[in-house]
Amino acid sequence: MAIDSSLIGQISESQTFEVTREAVQRFMEATEDPALQSKEPLQYAPLTFPTTFRVRVPGLELDGSKMQLLHGEQEYTYTRQLRIGEQVTCIVRVADVRERTGKSGSMTFLILETTGTDSEQQLVFTGRSTLIVRQK
């Protein structure tokens, strides 16, 4: 299926993730987070930790063997930090799809918005990411 404006407004099913100490530790090691040097026990996940949450949007097929995928931008807004040990339920919505033509051909800019809520259905974070897609 082509990535076009008909996908705008598509919403994923909700998916719940546990913020485990092990996953946070691995993420911090991979990103060389300086907080690892602290002697304090980990209580919170780093602000970019939700990048590890993978949620599929129906109708959106991203195949790296047929497409060039480039991470363009990502931002998060928090109401509070993610606590280690809690569960977060995420939903992703296709906010926008835009076509652009550059020197090297056409590109599709895909804007995704992710919301993460806690076990009491309180909003914890909102994420917005831009993915740039080109056909190979």
Q: Averaged over 32-49, what is the pLDDT?
A: 90
- The CA distance from 48 to 82, in Å, is 10
Model confidence at 84, in pLDDT bands (50, 70, 90)? very high
- The CA distance from 116 to 95, in Å, is 16
Q: Quickly list DSSP for 15-47.
A: EEEE--HHHHHHHHHHTT-GGGG-SSPP-B--T
Judged against a pLDDT cut of 50, whether residue 127 lies above it is answered with yes
Q: What is the pLDDT of residue 1?
A: 44
pLDDT in tens, 51-82: 999 998 877 877 778 778 888 899 999 999 99
pTM: 0.86
Q: Averaged over 102-128, what is the pLDDT?
A: 93
Q: Averaged over 106-112, what is the pLDDT?
A: 91
